[in-house]
């Protein structure tokens, strides 16, 4: 019997039998509009997106392409002007300013251009006029949107609430200063992470109060602990200084989620080579790890699958660094097959891009990705049928 999208996702994430590997697909606005023009099937282009340029497509788009995962975003707090795609700049609730840049081919991006907490002391942190994480404007209409989406399409709906205990400080302080803080000013670093942990825990719990019953998972975003060649900080430093706040955030949000929705899952996003930390993520109670970035120095798909298959679900892994933007449709298909062989058991894996698909990815390659998951990801009696 064919599963619904939500059933398929929950089965895969919980390492239970699936009828097909679920498909996740996050797209930046340029990639989305290029794709719908290519499909030419009546799906409309989009002129709005999140501050990271990710779009939130309609249920019709996801049903048409057989995408099993959708995302629900929160709104802007009262103290800032809502982001408008195409504006020259925008400012976050913490005073971080992003300015627009445009590539030679016309692709728009936004880059941070200040570090508003660069000169702060612990006293400054304690006296700062922090925004209210329970500001009602952030959550306006959230429950209604979640209810409408899941009534239209029995989809795996994920909460995309943009919380970061480690990476937000790196933006507010500047990356270099933040790394120095972690090494020589532990009092400051710990106080800032404590504030971020409290802020985002309250925000996530308020969002879950509004819509948690309709969500399949919550994405804990966007703490990037990896680089192309290994960890950004040592595992020892992570466990000693950072993990207490990361783990508290994860466990408190998960516990609150489970009170509202006993099936609710936690997905952790971290880019880069984080092979050394995956065991720690398992111990922290994280259910799903995203995005399993390939082509790093140590974190191969094979090693990740061998060491941690069955212990934590994997989400992502299809290469957006080389194959999707620069390869052929045949090479994209081969990449999907490699992911299935090494990361899917055949459960425990949600196929998706290893980064939001950007505007330089040809539509033909996006559809090769979709078609490959639908064909080679089919499972019967615990085995891939076509792989």
In the predicted structure, residue 222 carries a pLDDT above the cut 90:
no
For 4-31, the pLDDT digits (tens) are 999 999 999 999 999 999 999 999 999 9
pLDDT of residue 86: 95
In the predicted structure, residue 221 carries a pLDDT above the cut 90:
no
pLDDT of residue 106: 86
pLDDT of residue 1: 80
**Both tokens of residue 188?**
């400051």
**Does residue 144 lie in a domain region?**
yes
Number of other CB atoms surrounding residue 47 within 10 Å: 11
310 near 356, Cβ under 8 Å? no
**Does residue 96 lie in a domain region?**
no
pLDDT of residue 322: 97
In the predicted structure, residue 163 carries a pLDDT above the cut 90:
no
Report strand pairing: 97-102 vs 89-91. antiparallel
Task: Using the Cα atoms of residue 320, residue 322, residue 326 and residue 328 in order, give the sign of their dihedral.
Answer: negative
For 309-341, the pLDDT digits (tens) are 999 999 999 999 999 999 999 999 999 999 999
**Both tokens of residue 32?**
């989305």
Range of the domain at 78: 5-83+118-378
Residue 240 gets which letter from DSSP? I
For 88-116, the pLDDT digits (tens) are 999 999 999 999 999 888 889 999 999 99
**Does residue 343 lie in a domain region?**
yes
Structural domain count of the chain: 1
Tell which residue, 306, 294, 289, 304, has the closest CA to residue 331. 294
In whole angstroms, give the CA distance from residue 25 to residue 79: 32
pLDDT of residue 13: 98
For 269-315, the pLDDT digits (tens) are 999 999 999 999 999 999 999 999 999 999 999 999 999 999 999 99
Per-residue pLDDT, averaged over 216-243, amounts to 96
In the predicted structure, residue 48 carries a pLDDT above the cut 90:
yes
**Does residue 101 lie in a domain region?**
no
**Does residue 268 lie in a domain region?**
yes
Alpha-carbon distance values, 254 to 100, 151, 208, 247, 278 (Å): 36, 24, 10, 10, 18
Whole-model pTM? Answer: 0.97
Mean of per-residue pLDDT scores for the chain: 97
pLDDT of residue 26: 98
For 59-80, the pLDDT digits (tens) are 999 999 999 999 999 999 999 9
**Does residue 91 lie in a domain region?**
no
**Does residue 134 lie in a domain region?**
yes
**Does residue 90 lie in a domain region?**
no
**Both tokens of residue 264?**
């609710």
347 near 12, Cβ under 8 Å? yes
Residues 6 or more apart in contact with residue 198 via CB below 8 angstroms: none
CATH number at residue 371: 3.20.20.210
Q: Is 241 left (phi over 0), alpha (psi -120 to 50) or beta?
A: alpha
Report strand pairing: 379-380 vs 349-353. unpaired
């Amino acid at each position: 019997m064919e599963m619904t999208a939500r059933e398929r996702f929950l089965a895969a994430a919980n390492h239970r039998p699936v009828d097909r590997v679920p498909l996740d697909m996050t797209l930046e606005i340029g990639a989305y509009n290029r794709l719908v023009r290519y499909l030419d099937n009546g799906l409309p282009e989009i002129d709005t997106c999140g501050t990271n340029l990710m779009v939130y497509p309609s249920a019709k788009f996801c049903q048409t392409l057989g995408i099993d995962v959708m995302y629900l975003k929160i709104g802007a707090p009262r103290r800032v002007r809502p982001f408008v795609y195409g504006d020259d700049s925008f400012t976050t609730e913490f005073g971080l300013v992003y300015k627009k840049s445009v590539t030679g081919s016309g692709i728009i991006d936004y880059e941070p251009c200040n570090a508003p907490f660069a000169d702060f002391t612990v006293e400054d942190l304690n006296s700062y006029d922090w925004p209210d994480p329970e500001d009602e404007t952030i959550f306006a209409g959230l429950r209604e949107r979640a209810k409408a989406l899941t009534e239209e399409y029995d989809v795996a709906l994920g909460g995309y609430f943009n919380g970061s205990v480690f990476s937000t400080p790196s933006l507010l302080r500047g990356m270099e200063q933040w790394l120095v803080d972690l090494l020589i000013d532990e009092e400051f670093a710990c106080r800032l992470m404590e504030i971020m942990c409290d802020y985002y825990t309250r925000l996530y719990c308020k969002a879950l109060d509004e819509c948690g019953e309709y969500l399949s998972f919550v994405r804990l975003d966007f703490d990037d602990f990896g680089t192309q060649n290994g960890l950004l900080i040592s595992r020892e430093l992570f466990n000693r200084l950072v993990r207490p706040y990361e783990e508290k955030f994860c466990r408190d949000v998960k516990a609150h989620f489970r009170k509202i929705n006993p099936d609710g899952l936690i997905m952790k996003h971290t880019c880069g080579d984080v092979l050394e930390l995956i065991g720690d993520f398992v111990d922290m109670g994280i259910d799903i790890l995203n995005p399993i970035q390939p082509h790093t120095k140590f974190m191969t798909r094979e090693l990740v699958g061998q060491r941690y298959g069955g212990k934590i679900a994997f989400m992502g892994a299809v290469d957006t660094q080389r194959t999707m933007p620069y390869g052929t449709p045949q090479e994209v298909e081969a990449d999907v097959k490699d992911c299935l062989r090494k990361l899917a058991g055949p459960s425990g894996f949600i196929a998706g891009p290893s980064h939001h698909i950007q505007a330089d990815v040809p539509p033909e390659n996006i559809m090769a990705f979709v078609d490959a998951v639908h064909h080679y990801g089919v499972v019967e009696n615990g085995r891939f049928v076509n792989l």
